[in-house]
Structure 1
């Protein structure tokens, strides 16, 4: 049997150097969805004689760049001296077409924890990224810290970094329950907090004055003088009138006596003299105290309302004749 230069077996372990080529060279695009490679038939013969444990896992070395990764094997149908790899795996190891890669068999512990970091936020926009990730990882045998795996979905490729793995830097994910955590995507940016620019004191004073002017120009409801519906002066009007101009108590009593003399005419004149005005809301409208009357002219002074029914009023008669 003829072997490629550098091909050989060392001791009880499998270790071999191959030239690597991407899966697209051999019309095997299904390799891109996992981490499995295709090796030559001679590798299977040697592995069988060593009684290697299944599933078969391998450690890949790029001696030129000191990059290390891990993979599984799918088939043993490649040409001798050649290994067919997913293109994303060649990118991880900085391998070009035809470069040499050293392959060793290895055993990895079962993974218990994996932390992933998508390259772009587009991956999080998928309706169910967890289900897509679980489906993709079924085609993987192992995960290595610092590798970038590729997830294909809806004719688009998403790259995800392996940030951390436990209990080792490389773990097997075959038939194991593994906790998965996500780190923020590489292109994620925190929303910037809007900072208000500092305004000089002079400008701030000018702005305050402008604000005051605007407040004065705004419509203010329930302002101005208010009047009661019964014609009496409101408390606010009574306080605005100077105390010196108020009428004396004797004058008020005199007017009240005059009103009591002619109750009928008083009710008619009161209805004609009463003026319409605004309603008064607040404490002044609900106050129990009698508001003070403002001094007005005798002919404009609102007379006291008389009740509709007055008992025992009118002339008195004696039963004796």
Structure 2
């Protein structure tokens, strides 16, 4: 009821998600029941994308306001907007974690507009990044993100950096993401194997540091760092010596370019 009341007041004031104040929404995870049919570009890929399901009322807002796609939304775990106290919807342990964690918000784009009013559905990696549980409440607002300049990724698995033509794989999988947020961990599935990549840094135009960037319809540079697995192995080894290995190890960062593409 508190969520519905808050959003109702915003609508009366002529604001809401597309105004200065954020709307409040109950979060639920996407499941295989949401998977688009065969033939859709997102078939089997919803969990490996930045797509969220929004209420039907949103489509009337974006069309009525004549907003050009892509449409991006900033999602923030909700603490009390007036006192700063943890939200009554949020488990105390998660509230404590969130105060210490650098990821305070992330950004998403729309999948479709079939969610019940006051609800949104999101992939598992988003819920993990923000430490959300089903039926937690978030604040969400429409944002315009800067076009991307460079994104630095760190794979979790060493196997990712060993893929043949790793930058071609990265370009292929990033087409399911319209934007990326620094500090999050996004997920890919390639040839039946799942990979996790930390977004270490996002640079906008003229390489200015920003919290998030638009990668849809943008030519971005990508920087792939040595994986977390490789770093762990390197820390266990002695420093460079008789073996001739260097402190940097066998894998160094690799740079590439992801060409802008139109979403279909």
C-alpha RMSD over aligned residues: 2.2
Contact 2:52 2:123 (8 Å CA) reproduced: yes
User: What is aligned with 2:135?
Assistant: 98
Segments of 5+ residues of structure 1 without an aligned counterpart are 197-321
From the two aligned structures, give the one with the greater helix fraction: 1
Matched, 1:186 2:228: yes
Distance of 1:193 and 1:145 partners within structure 2: 31
Who is 1:162 aligned against?
Answer: 199
2:40 equivalent in structure 1: none
Give a deviation string over 1:100-159, Cα, whole Å, max 9, x none: 111100001100111110112121122232222111111111111101100111222110
Q: Which has the higher strand share?
A: 2
Residue-pair matches, total: 194
1:23 partnered with 2:38: no
CA contact (8 A) 2:45 2:176 kept: no
- Which of 168, 173, 176 pairs up with 2:215? 173
1:33 pairs with 2:40? no
Distance 1:157 1:33 in 2: 9
TM-score, structure 1 length as denominator?
Answer: 0.56
The alpha-carbon distance between structure 1 residues 45 and 120, as it changes in their structure 2 partners (threshold 3 A), is same
Of the two structures, which has the highest relative contact order with CA contacts closer than 8 Å and spacing of 6 or more? 2
* CA positional deviation for 1:5: 4.1
Look up the match of 1:107. Answer: 144
- CA distance in 2 between partners of 1:194 and 1:42 (Å): 61
Q: In the alignment, which residue of structure 2 is the partner of 1:68? A: 105
The answer to whether 1:120 aligns with 2:120 is: no
Could you list the per-position Cα deviations for residues 43-81 of structure 1 after superposition, in whole angstroms to 9, with x for gaps in the alignment? Answer: 222233333332111111112436200011021011222
TM-score of the two chains, using structure 2 as the length reference: 0.67
> Which structure has the larger Rg over C-alpha atoms?
1
Pairing 1:42–2:57 present: yes
